[in-house]
């Protein structure tokens, strides 16, 4: 299974993208979460959890595939 085909990939990328997103206005470039940085920290935490779940899922599937090949 590839990383991109995992169900955890899109949420991981979206959470990360939201955490580091910027806005453009009349006052220039502004980080969306400059008033409330705890939201960005929460989004980064969610992204990190999704990445850990994604790689754990891939590692588990690769291990089961190797066991199936060795059983033959």
Q: What is the pLDDT of residues 3-62, one digit of tens each?
A: 777 889 999 999 999 999 999 988 899 998 989 999 999 999 999 999 999 999 888 887
Tell me, yes or no, whether 45 lies in a domain. yes
Tell me, yes or no, whether 4 lies in a domain. no
pLDDT at 42: 97
For 48, other C-beta atoms within 10 Å of its C-beta total: 13
Stated as kind and residue range, the H or E segment containing 14 is helix 9-19
Is 0.85 surpassed by the pTM of this model?
A: no
Packing angle between helix 9-19 and helix 37-71, nearest 10 degrees? 160
Tell me, yes or no, whether 38 lies in a domain. yes
**Collapsed DSSP state (helix, strand, coil) of residue 23:** strand
How many independent structural domains does the chain possess?
Answer: 1
pLDDT at 60: 85
Q: Are 59 and 11 in contact (CB under 8 A)?
A: no
Tell me, yes or no, whether 2 lies in a domain. no
């Amino acid at each position: 299974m590839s990383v991109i085909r995992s169900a955890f990939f899109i949420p991981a990328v979206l959470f990360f993208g939201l955490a580091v997103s910027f806005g453009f206005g009349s006052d220039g470039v502004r980080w969306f979460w400059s008033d409330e940085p705890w939201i960005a920290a929460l989004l980064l935490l969610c992204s990190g959890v999704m990445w850990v779940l994604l790689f754990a899922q891939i590692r588990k599937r690769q291990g089961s595939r190797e066991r199936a090949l060795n059983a033959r």
